[in-house]
Structure 1
Amino acid sequence: MRWLDGGSPAEVVAALKDVAPELGDYPIVVREPVGDDDPLWRSATAVVGERFVVKYAWSRPAALRLAHEIAVLEALAIPYLPEVVASSTDPVLLVTRLVPGQALFDVVDSVDRDDAGRQLAQFLGELHGADIGPLPPAALQPATTDVLRNEFIKWARPDQRAAVVRWCDWADEVLATPRATVLVHADLHGGNQVWEGGQLRVVVDFETAGLAEPEYDLRAFPGTGPGVELLTATMRHYTHLTGRELATDRVMAWHLRTALGDALWRSEAGVPLPDHRTPQAWVDDLAERFTALGIDPGLSATS
């Protein structure tokens, strides 16, 4: 396996001419890299001829993630996948067809929640039922509850701190008993979905796909759009389509770790939260979501 020496446009063009010579003369617009301080994030994308997307890496950790995505896409045959035009591990490069549309984050207020939930449930049902051979466990990203108890607490208001600790205790109880694992996307937030005219066109970024419980894939849904309608619609359609129940408390336990973990690292790094509000506001949002779903995380999960 070989990766690029750097992320310059010239290196991308040279690699593209190796992997897909027919695209090498198209104009290339390199998007802002994900990051270059940590080798894990030394990757980026470029748009080729306004028709294709190229993903590439310039470190071993980033290249391993991209090579994993290539292998997953080659093995899967389900709806809503990106169309692979070319791929290679020497150098590591993935070329997919560009799909016009917008991220779910940008259109969630205008889509029909029930219909959107049906489409997402179709994707999740197909993905979770896929068998593509041996896979590693997904790298679970949310901060641990110990980290939240010890470090997030200083970003909460004094009147919120006891509740955050109780929520963490509750999440530990909920997730104490493991569930059977399935193939999950593992990073299914609104930015990795392309929508157009109320229709889900494609789901992208399978670099972290692996084995985890199905509820892990819905951990971002409670915070996507106002209320929890997208989550409840997706879960309802998922059960109808697959015959498999999803546990709301497990989704919310993962969501708690995800939301507060995101607020924590951003606050400590001086990076604005995605909606430019405060960690305290996010704690208030979590309380409202628990109430809307009829969950009292102040009580024992087994009571």
Structure 2
Amino acid sequence: MTRSWLGEPTVTALREGLRVVAPALADGVIVPRGLVPSEDPRWCAASAMVDERFVVKFAWSEEAAERVCYRARVLDALRGAAPAIPLPEVVAASESPAMVVLRRVPGRPFFQVRHQVDPAAAARDLAGVLAALHDPAVLRTVSALLGPLPKRTENVPPGRWWNRLRPWSEWADQVLTIPGRTALVHGDFHGDNHVWRSNRLRLVVDLETVGVGEPEYDLRCLPADCGVEMFLAVVSDYEALTATPVSLDRVMAWHLRTVVGDMAWRTEAGVPLPDGRAPDEWIDDLLSRFAALDISAT
């Protein structure tokens, strides 16, 4: 079937799409999120809640439609390849129009509960999910089902505060010069992409970034999201589950690139940082994490 997508970013267009993909939901109560027109086709996608029971992912450009369809294929492949990972249930999926309907799982993102969860239990949950995803057999199975997978890397655009981090950038480049191990990675495993309920991890979401990378790449957000102490507990549990060592230097090299990249695009686009602070404050926190891990750029 030829792929298609919605003609415009409106609730009316979404209802028309639902009449094709999931007719029973077309007349439901729709609460959209991210339904903002964009001239960049990469961002012509959004989600919506329907009747508080379903989440719909949809697009209104070819490039965004490919990501929506890729998400559906990944979910289908992972459900059999890694059943231990708590994944969204696909209620309906379509290539024309590009749309995925998921059953909603009540809960809150990690950022909202990280100061409430038991650190040891949370570390075990995070380590368990990542260990299951990074199992070499999962990469082999998913690759066989989906064909060539995208490679996940992080680039760092310079910013006006870049001189503060120049030694660390050179250090990260050196650390990552030698390729690491290969695994199937989530690609965007930050605190908004895992859902928690009753202080336990219940769902891993936003699978459109799944691809080939190294295990340390998926751990790169945790030093900031969890704090250094919980991050180290995750690493310890992960190493015990996988019987493979984690390179803290590699995690922190990816962490540096991710934090700086996030600061750069937001400041250049005039978008506030998520916590409302200034880039220099983010850099202070970043350097404090290196110090807490006793990692030096020299």
Fold in common (TM above 0.5): yes
CA offset at residue 41 of structure 1? 0.7
Over residues 4-35 of structure 1, what are the superposed CA-to-partner deviations in whole Å (9 max), with x where a residue is unaligned?
11121111111112111222232211223366
Over residues 160-208 of structure 1, what are the superposed CA-to-partner deviations in whole Å (9 max), with x where a residue is unaligned?
x3x5111011101100001232111101111111111211110111111
| Contact 2:9 2:37 (8 Å CA) reproduced | no
Partners of 1:273 and 1:34 in 2: CA distance: 19
1:124 aligns to what?
130
Letter in 2 for 1:240: A
Partners of 2:236 and 2:18 in 1: CA distance: 43
**SS of equivalent to 1:76:** helix
| Contact 1:120 1:234 (8 Å CA) reproduced | yes
**SS of equivalent to 1:67:** helix
1:206 aligns to what?
207
Show the 5 A alignment for 1:81-96: 81-96=87-102
Change (3 A) 1:49 1:71: same
Change (3 A) 1:273 1:5: same
**SS of equivalent to 2:212:** strand
Partners of 2:40 and 2:230 in 1: CA distance: 34
Change (3 A) 1:34 1:82: farther
| Contact 2:107 2:196 (8 Å CA) reproduced | yes
TM-score for both structures, normalised by structure 2? 0.91
CA offset at residue 125 of structure 1? 1.1
Show the 5 A alignment for 1:212-231: 212-225=213-226, 227-231=227-231
Partners of 1:255 and 1:118 in 2: CA distance: 21
TM-score for both structures, normalised by structure 1? 0.90
**SS of equivalent to 2:208:** coil
**SS of equivalent to 1:72:** helix
1:237 aligns to what?
237
Letter in 2 for 1:222: P
The runs of at least 4 aligned residues of structure 1 exceeding 6 Å deviation read: none
Partners of 2:199 and 2:190 in 1: CA distance: 17
1:26 aligns to what?
28
1:135 aligns to what?
148
Say how many residue pairs are matched: 285
Partners of 1:207 and 1:222 in 2: CA distance: 23
1:181 aligns to what?
182
| Contact 1:35 1:43 (8 Å CA) reproduced | no
Letter in 2 for 1:37: E
| Contact 2:86 2:203 (8 Å CA) reproduced | yes
Partners of 1:22 and 1:65 in 2: CA distance: 25
Change (3 A) 1:257 1:16: same
Partners of 1:292 and 1:35 in 2: CA distance: 43
Partners of 1:202 and 1:285 in 2: CA distance: 28
| Contact 1:135 1:210 (8 Å CA) reproduced | no
Partners of 1:39 and 1:20 in 2: CA distance: 25
